[in-house]
Each structure stands twice: as structure tokens, then as C-alpha cells.
């Protein structure tokens, strides 16, 4: 996996490419940068955090031993690891200024932005009450805060509310 410095160097060099090739490029500088900018996306899971802690605490171990112990852990403990991994990933995305996050819901990938009023206008929305507060639910079971017009979570298969 490439280091963040490689992505930084590449993204900074796009300005040089645009200045030298602007005669051949039929786009504005911003559009060109948005099309070719690379972001180092990482995937962090609860299992990865568990393996890291396991290696820190134990000197002799095998992959099979780690996977067997992971299977023996309670579901609450696994959920804690997954929540920690999600927090780390969210913090990483904020650090690299990732503005457009992808959420997979019901086997469809939709784009979730901080404030996007167009999504609210274009989807079939249903009023829903969660914890004595009114929200909107779109066709992908995403939950939208009415006051701020931002996505705050989604409903899983069992209609349980899960926050982002």
C-alpha cells in the first residue's frame, strides 16, 4: 500500500500538468483536479484491530490461532472492535479531507454528502419518528435530519436505527 506522501506529491503535481497541457484540456482547472485527484482510502475493520492487539500482547502466535480466538469472542466485544474501527476510519477521512463518503445500503452504493438538498428533493421521502423526533426516510432507508438536511444514519434489515 502506498504512503500518503505519494498521494500528496501526485495531487500537487496535477497543477503542473494542467499548466503545461491547458491548451489540450477542455476543462477548467478545478474540474481537471477533481477528475484526477487521488485519495488514499483505507479499510479498517474490527478484526484488524483485534489482530493488532493480539500481536502486541502475545509473542508466539499463528494466523489459525488468531482466527480461532476471534470466533470465540462474544458478539458485544466484536461490536466494540468494529465501532472503534469505524471511529478510526472516520477520523482518517476527516484528516485527508474526504468530502464525499460512500455508504453501502441495500446492495446499492449511494453518495452521502454533508449537506445535499438535491438528494432530499429527488428521493421519495417518508416521515418517520425515532426517539420522539421526526425524521425523513428515503428509498434506501437512510435517515435525514429535517432541520439540518443531513444524513444522520440508516435503518438496517430489522428496522434498527444505526447512526453514522
pLDDT tens for 40-84 read 666 788 888 888 888 887 777 677 888 888 899 999 999 999 998
pLDDT at 79: 92
For residues 159 and 118, state if they share a domain: yes
Task: Spell out the residues 6+ positions from residue 69 whose beta carbon is closer than 8 angstroms to its own.
Answer: 54
pLDDT at 77: 92
**Domain that includes residue 142, residue range:** 105-163
Q: In the chain, how many domains are there?
A: 3
Asked if 61 and 54 count as a contact pair (C-beta separation under 8 A), the reply is yes
pLDDT digits (tens, 9 = 90+) for 91-146: 777 666 554 444 444 444 444 443 344 444 555 788 888 888 888 888 778 888 88
Query: Is residue 41 included in any domain, yes or no?
Result: no
For residues 112 and 90, state if they share a domain: no
For residues 117 and 71, state if they share a domain: no
For residues 53 and 89, state if they share a domain: yes
pLDDT at 40: 67
- CA 51 from centroid of its chain's CA atoms: 22
CA angle 136, 147, 88 (to 5 degrees): 80
pLDDT at 107: 43
Distance CA 131, CA 103 (A): 23
pLDDT at 7: 75
pTM to 2 decimal places: 0.38
Query: Is residue 100 included in any domain, yes or no?
Result: no
Query: Is residue 30 included in any domain, yes or no?
Result: yes
For residues 59 and 79, state if they share a domain: yes
For residues 32 and 52, state if they share a domain: no
Is 151 exposed, middle or buried (CB count within 10 Å of its CB: 0-12, 13-18, 19+)? buried
Query: Is residue 136 included in any domain, yes or no?
Result: yes
Amino acid at each position: 500500500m502506498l504512503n500518503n506522501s505519494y498521494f500528496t506529491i501526485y495531487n500537487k503535481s496535477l497543477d503542473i500538468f494542467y499548466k503545461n497541457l491547458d491548451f489540450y484540456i477542455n476543462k477548467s482547472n478545478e474540474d481537471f483536479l477533481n477528475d484526477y485527484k487521488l485519495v488514499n482510502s483505507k479499510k479498517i475493520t474490527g478484526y484488524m484491530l483485534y489482530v493488532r492487539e493480539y500481536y502486541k500482547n502475545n509473542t508466539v502466535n499463528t494466523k489459525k490461532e488468531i482466527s480461532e480466538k476471534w470466533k470465540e469472542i462474544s458478539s458485544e466485544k466484536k461490536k466494540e472492535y468494529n465501532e472503534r474501527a469505524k471511529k478510526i476510519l472516520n477520523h482518517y477521512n476527516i484528516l485527508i479531507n474526504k468530502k464525499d463518503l460512500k455508504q453501502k445500503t441495500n446492495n446499492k452504493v449511494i453518495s452521502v454528502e454533508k449537506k445535499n438538498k438535491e438528494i432530499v428533493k429527488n428521493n421519495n421521502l417518508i416521515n418517520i419518528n425515532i426517539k420522539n423526533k421526526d425524521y425523513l426516510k428515503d428509498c434506501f432507508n437512510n435517515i435525514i435530519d429535517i432541520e439540518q438536511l443531513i444524513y444522520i444514519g440508516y435503518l438496517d434489515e430489522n428496522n434498527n436505527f444505526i447512526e453514522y
